[in-house]
Amino acid sequence: MKRIGMLTSGGDCQALNAAMRGVVKGLSENISELEIYGFYEGYKGLIYGNYRLLTAADFSGILTRGGTILGTSRQPFKYMRTPDENGLDKVVAMKQTYHKLNLDCLVILGGNGTQKTANLLREEGLNVVHLPKTIDNDIYGTDVTFGFQSAVNVATQAIDCIHTTAASHNRVFIVEVMGHKVGWLTLYAGVSSGADIILLPEIPYDINKVIKAIKKRSDAGKGFTILAVAEGAISKEDAALSKKEYKKKQEQSKYPSVSYEIAAQIEKALGTEVRVAVPGHTQRGGSPCPYDRALCTRLGAAAAKAILDEDYGCMIAMINNETKRVPLSEVAGKLKTVDPNCRMIQEAKLIGISFGD
């Protein structure tokens, strides 16, 4: 008998269900006696014992279904060692739930914060396997995370739609793409949709360079300009501030986000009309794209194989199009950022895309 716990934590994305399905199918095809316990709302379910025994019917027909059948919540890693409002030790509670159910392994699907807690549980002696989920594609140790390509598709379509209205009205449009700390999503969506200017958190921008790029297009007879701006994009001036100073500036800002500040600066400098479009959470919603469905099926099957081999404490990564087991101890807490000098950035600049630097 194998008893497996499963939870999805952090922000949702389009392919969580597909990944869980891959794990369960990989196990059920190779184990005659299997129990799968699903924890509701991520680590919260593990902490407070909110779970149920899942059946094969729960995983039928969910390959194309977005979101997560288990629900999710954010439980910040930095507070995991802090007792809750009733004095409950969350780490002790999670261990007690694990041992109460006599689990052989806990399969955890989530991003960076989720991964850090998974590693903490590994250090506490629990058998865990982590599957890398995030639309930001910022998990260290894997070439790609599931949810990323589906989000790229949504963000790209949003910018595609903006092109027609921008061209019709000869306007400057800013499309704000998700990504506070890293710009993978903005980079891929921007290049895929033919954005003229792409602003990323990893490349602090000079607003004068941005304005110059817009004016260059205008002088060339091109009446509109599309900017793909990561929500974490930052100016060179702000990048020079301390974290405390930057946070204070943000709190005092009259703008909802950096995109609106950039829009105001462009309007003031050029006297042109600027519109801001924010696709927001649509980038995390909807059905997973075919690429993510295939990716999650492979990652899920590889996770099942790790469990069958009793090889725990790892993340299932995709490296050079091959599934690999990467020790959590080597990757937890690390962030995969865009290299400002990477080949993709160089090639984008070669065809005239400005990064404001």
Domain presence at residue 58: yes
Domain presence at residue 192: yes
CB 132 within 8 A of CB 111: yes
pTM of the prediction? Answer: 0.94
Residues 6 or more apart whose CB falls under 8 angstroms from that of 4 comprise: 23, 27, 34, 35, 36, 37, 103, 104, 105, 106, 107, 307
For residues 209 and 301, state if they share a domain.
no
Domain presence at residue 347: no
Reading the block at residue 94, the tokens are: 């999670």
Tell me, what's the pLDDT at 241?
A: 87
> What residues are labeled active site?
136
For residues 246 and 143, state if they share a domain.
no
Least Cα distance to 303 among 101, 18, 98 occurs for 18
- CATH number, position 204: 3.40.50.460
Domain presence at residue 7: yes
Residues 6 or more apart whose CB falls under 8 angstroms from that of 212 comprise: none
For residues 79 and 20, state if they share a domain.
yes
Least Cα distance to 131 among 141, 123, 121 occurs for 141
Among 284, 306, 340, residue at a domain's last position: 284
Rg, the chain, Cα only: 22
Handedness of CA 251, 256, 262, 264 (dihedral sign): negative
Q: Where do runs of H (alpha helix) occur along 170-275? A: 184-193, 207-219, 236-239, 243-252, 258-270
For residues 295 and 233, state if they share a domain.
no
Least Cα distance to 114 among 343, 331, 351 occurs for 331
Q: From residue 118, how far is each of 47, 68, 81, 132, 215 by CA, in Å?
A: 13, 19, 13, 11, 49
Domain presence at residue 339: no
For residues 143 and 153, state if they share a domain.
no
For residues 115 and 143, state if they share a domain.
yes
Per DSSP, 49 falls in state: T
Tell me, what's the pLDDT at 246?
A: 84
The owner of tokens 């829009």 is: 263
Tell me, what's the pLDDT at 3?
A: 97
For residues 126 and 166, state if they share a domain.
no
For residues 103 and 190, state if they share a domain.
no
Average pLDDT of each block of 10 consecutive residues along the chain (357 residues)?
Answer: 95 93 95 95 96 92 94 90 92 96 97 95 97 96 97 96 86 94 97 97 97 93 94 93 86 90 94 92 94 97 97 98 97 96 97 96
Q: How far is 148 from 132, CA to CA, in rounded Å?
A: 10
- CATH number, position 35: 3.40.50.450
Tell me, what's the pLDDT at 167?
A: 81
Among 267, 284, 301, residue at a domain's last position: 284
Q: How far is 21 from 255, CA to CA, in rounded Å?
A: 42
Tell me, what's the pLDDT at 89?
A: 95
Q: From residue 216, how far is each of 177, 223, 225, 269 by CA, in Å?
A: 24, 11, 10, 14
For residues 128 and 257, state if they share a domain.
no
For residues 175 and 324, state if they share a domain.
no
For residues 40 and 176, state if they share a domain.
no
Per DSSP, 59 falls in state: G
* Owning domain of residue 311: 2-147+288-331
Give the end-to-end CA distance of the chain in Å, rounded to a whole number.
58
Tell me, what's the pLDDT at 247?
A: 86
For residues 183 and 211, state if they share a domain.
yes
Q: Domain total for the chain?
A: 2
Tell me, what's the pLDDT at 244?
A: 87
Q: How far is 295 from 310, CA to CA, in rounded Å?
A: 22
